[in-house]
Amino acid sequence: MLILLNTYPLITSENLTFRSKQSSLQGSVSVMVTALSGLEELSEENVAGAMTLVEETGISRVLVTDASGRVLYDTRETDGAIGRYAFYTELVQALRGEDVFYTEFSDKAFKSRAASPVIYHSQTIGAVYAYEYDTEQAELLLSLQRNLLTISAVVLVFAGGISVLLSRVLTRRFGVLTDAIRKMREGSYSHRAEVGGHDEISELAAEFNDMADRLQTTEDARRRFVSDASHELKTPLAGIRLLSDSILQTENMDAQTVREFVGDIEQESERLARITENLLRLTRLDSGMLPEAQCVDLSPVMARVVRMLRLVAEEKQVDLSYEIRREGQTLASEDEIHEIIYNLTENAIKYNRPG
C-alpha cells in the first residue's frame, strides 16, 4: 500500500511534467519554424537574421540545419556546430518531414528534445532542433519524492506502533481466555473469563462462560448425587451385610430363620433398587433432563403391566384383570406412566388377600 502511495503520485507528476515539456518545447519550435518558413533558401546569414526576431525562450540549445543536415545556426556560444553536419535522431526524422519530441528524467534533470521540418512550397528546406535541460522542475519532483518518503516513513512508524499496541491488547485478552480454559481443564469450573468489549473475542468469552456455567451445574449435580447416594445407600447395604453375616456366622441355623433372613435381604435389595431409581430421578430433575412429554395411550401400557405381573398374581392367588371403559390418553412420559401403573398394580397384588 505504501509503495502504491509513493509510486502513483510520482508517476502522475512525472507524466504531467512530460506533457508540459512537450507542449512548451514544441510550441517554441513551432514559432521558430514559422519565422523560417518565409525564406526561400536557408543560409547562415538569413537564418541568423530570422532567429533574431524570435523571443528568448530559455531553451538550452537550438540548432537550425539545411536540407542536407548541415548546421546553419547554433545557440551554443562555445564549441558551436555551425558548418558541421548534425545527425541527431530527432533531426533526421524532422528532415523526413516528421514532428518529433522526446523527453526523459535522469541524473536529476528533465532532458527534452524536439525537432520539426522547415517547409517552403511543400519542400523540406531544413529543420529546427531544440534541446532543453531543466533542473528546476526536476528538483520539484525530487522534493515531492522526498516528502512522500518522509510521510511514508511516518505512516509506517505510526502503523507499526498501532500494530504493536493492538497486538498487545489482543494478546492480553486471548491470554485471559487461555488462562480460563487452563483452569477449567484443571477442574476449576467456577472460574470465568473476564473479557470486556463487544467484539468477537468478547462473544467467545461469553460463550465460554455459558459453557462453564453448564459444566458447573453438571458438576454440582454429580457431587450432590454422590453425596445423596452415599447417604441413602448406606442403610440398606448395612442391613444386607448384617443379615448375610448372621447367616454365615451362625451355625446350625434352622431353615425357618434362614428363610426369614433371606426374605429380609430380598426386601432390603428391593429397597436398595428403589432408592437408586429415586436418586437417578432426582438427578435428572436437578439437571433439567426431563423426559419429553407425549400423548400416551393407556390401554397398551395397562396390557403390558398385566402380562408382566400375571405370574406374580398367580403365586399370590390373586385374580388380575383390567378394564378400560373408554379410550384414555394422557400427556406424559410413557416410562413414567408405566412405572406408576406397575408400582400400583404390584402393591395391589402384594397387599391383597387371595381370591
Q: What is the pLDDT of residue 291?
A: 57
Q: What is the pLDDT of residue 121?
A: 87
Shortest CA distance to 59 belongs to which of 136, 132, 138?
132
Per-residue pLDDT reduced to its tens digit, 32-73: 888 888 888 888 888 888 888 766 566 888 889 999 999 998
In a domain, 225, yes or no: no
In a domain, 338, yes or no: yes
Per-residue pLDDT reduced to its tens digit, 66-102: 999 999 988 886 777 888 998 888 989 999 989 999 8
In a domain, 75, yes or no: yes
For residue 80, the enclosing domain spans 2-134
In the predicted structure, residue 117 carries a pLDDT above the cut 90? yes
* Mean pLDDT taken over the chain: 79
Of the candidate ranges 23-27, 117-121, 124-128, 292-296, the one whose mean pLDDT is the lowest: 292-296
Nine cell digits for residue 147: 516528502
How many separate domains does the chain show? 2
In a domain, 259, yes or no: no
In a domain, 92, yes or no: yes
Q: What is the 3-state secondary structure (H, E, C) of 287-311?
A: CCCCCCCEEEEHHHHHHHHHHHHHH
208 close to 177: Cβ distance less than 8 angstroms: yes
In a domain, 206, yes or no: no
Query: Measured between alpha carbons, how far is 212 from 218 in angstroms, rounded to an integer?
Result: 10
In a domain, 255, yes or no: no
Share of the chain above pLDDT 90, in %: 6
Query: Measured between alpha carbons, how far is 32 from 55 in angstroms, rounded to an integer?
Result: 9
In the predicted structure, residue 238 carries a pLDDT above the cut 80? no
Q: What is the pLDDT of residue 213?
A: 80
Q: Among 116, 134, 152, which residue terminates a domain?
A: 134
Q: Among 134, 150, 175, which residue terminates a domain?
A: 134
Instruction: Kindly report the number of other CB atoms within 10 A of residue 104's CB atom.
Output: 11
**331: Cβ contacts below 8 Å, ≥ 6 apart:** 293, 294, 295, 296
Q: What is the pLDDT of residue 355?
A: 60
| Residue 256: band (very low, low, confident or very high) from pLDDT cuts 50, 70, 90 | confident
In a domain, 257, yes or no: no
Per DSSP, the residues of 250-296 read -TT--HHHHHHHHHHHHHHHHHHHHHHHHHHHHHHHHTT-PPPPEEE
The CATH number of the domain holding residue 23 is: 3.30.450.20
Whole-angstrom Cα Rg for the chain: 55
The CATH number of the domain holding residue 345 is: 3.30.565.10
Q: Among 134, 158, 192, which residue terminates a domain?
A: 134
3-state secondary structure of 111: strand
User: What predicted TM-score, i.e. pTM, was given to this entire model?
Assistant: 0.44
Q: Which DSSP helix (H) or strand (E) runs through 207?
A: helix 200-249
